Amino acid sequence: MNIGFIGLGIMGKPMSINLLKNKQNVFISSSNDDTNDELANYGATILADYEAVAEQSEVIILMLPDSKEVREVVIESGLYKKFNPGTIVVDMSSINPETSKEVFNTINKDGHQYIDAPVSGGEEKAIDGTLSVMAGGDPDAFNKIKPILQYMGASIVHTGPVGSGNSVKLVNQVIVANNIAALAEGVTLAKELNLDLDTVYNAISGGLAGSTAMDAKFKKMAEKEYEPGFKMKLHMKDLNNAFGSVDRDFSKNIPITDQTKKIMSELLEDERVNEDDHSALFKYYTNKKDNRQ
């Protein structure tokens, strides 16, 4: 099966590499020459533009930053008019569920299918090919592309109709955000008690406090190194989508998430934090300590 891959950033590039390692035919067009060269070494076919990618593909995977870019790439550019008959778009971007439905309604008129299949696990699991994938869309189309998803993910769940994948992802992002906030407060308390952070991690990570978030983010907080596996600005986008998908008054029903969102928003007033990993939420607590001294 010929696969076009659009969106070769922190997540998309290792995901496409896993497809190539599993002998899939992958077509790309990146504005980054280094990315083109790297993926060509794995066997990717490099083309001039997205239209050429679409013309070669039976399945097109998207891994774009937000709803606006998905809409621009697929609809506003007219790319969908270049699709081959029966093309399946597998949108692995984390976007607003309503945008997923909009794209589906646009391309389905011409006989194309759309699966919204956002992922969780960050760069580490993208590299390992062990992402969690939440996929919404036509069951037959899902079953057709599921073997492709299995090259990139360890958990592949069909969540229901189009839009449900991104709705489940919003639930995921609320839980992850609050896990990171709780972890940041735990690390803050450990430092206040003058505990050795490696010892704290070894003592508690195997118990009820342990989590994937702890395994991935504890060291980043302890070392104050925030090279992004998932950028805070993108997590903020997800929380905005979560709150934007429900009634305005709903925030009072999820007050912990509302507070976490406010903390992220305050941190993102510093433009440098936009490019940090979302574990940089810990900066909120270190800033508070610095202000007390």
Is 169 in the active site?
A: yes
> Measured between alpha carbons, how far is 235 from 277 in angstroms, rounded to an integer?
9
The one-letter code for the residue type at 272 is R
Reading the block at residue 121, the tokens are 């696990």
E-strand ranges in 101-235 read 113-116, 119-120, 131-136, 153-160
> Measured between alpha carbons, how far is 162 from 278 in angstroms, rounded to an integer?
28
Say which of 13, 125, 169, 283 is annotated catalytic.
169
Exposed/middle/buried for residue 46 (C-beta within 10 Å: 0-12, 13-18, 19+): middle
For β-strands 131-136 and 119-120, DSSP reports them as: antiparallel
H/E stretch holding 62 reads: strand 59-62
**Quick one: which of 46, 96, 34 has its CA closest to 71?**
96
**Quick one: which of 25, 34, 48 has its CA closest to 8?**
34
- Give the 3-state secondary structure of residue 177: helix
Catalytic residues: 169
